[in-house]
Amino acid sequence: MTGTAVSASHANKLTPYQIMTHMQIKLEKGVSQKDLFRFRDIVQRLDLDGNGQLNFKEYEKNPHFQGNPRGTRGFFGAADTNRDGEMSLNEYAWQRIITDEARKIIFAMDKDGDRHVSRTEFRQNKITSSKATLERIFIAFDTDENGELSLPECLRKWSKWARDGRNFGSLYK
């Protein structure tokens, strides 16, 4: 990459909000009451000491993450936004909303099913007609600059961007 290309892409850098808007992220508007109840049931089931929150030990018992310790830590770390070492129901639900939607969008782009989104696959998506914008979004996701997007790579950025400048309120009344 030439120096000119780097400075040009910097000058046109999209904000997280712009990227999320381009990708038509629905977040809480895309979840049903049923989803929220399902999240609550999961937290209640894993909450062995019954304090209403999940510590890491309780959470890693989630069968969903068996054999994926990195995914478990990633989810927990991103979910625990107040950094008290416990995941509240609200923190868990927000992280589920964010990652479930991200997963869905990313896997829809993965046409050949190799669990990675190549640049070519990414370019085929219809979120914007501007090739330049698509390229900028791709570069923003591709942290390790290997020319394809892995799910963990996308989830890390996505979790951060989805929370950018937002104060997430309670999902449960």
Q: Which residues bind Ca ion (CB under 5 A)?
A: 47, 49, 51, 80, 82, 84, 86, 110, 112, 114, 116, 142, 144, 146
Q: How far is the CB of 87 from Ca ion (least distance, A)?
A: 6
Q: How far is the CB of 123 from Ca ion (least distance, A)?
A: 12
Q: CA 66 to CA 61: how far, in whole Å?
A: 8
Q: How far is the CB of 153 from Ca ion (least distance, A)?
A: 5
Q: How far is the CB of 166 from Ca ion (least distance, A)?
A: 17
Work out the end-to-end distance of the chain between its first and last CA atoms, rounded to an integer number of angstroms: 51
CA 86 → CA 56, 70, 76, 81, 146, distances in Å? 7, 17, 9, 10, 34
Q: CA 32 to CA 15: how far, in whole Å?
A: 28
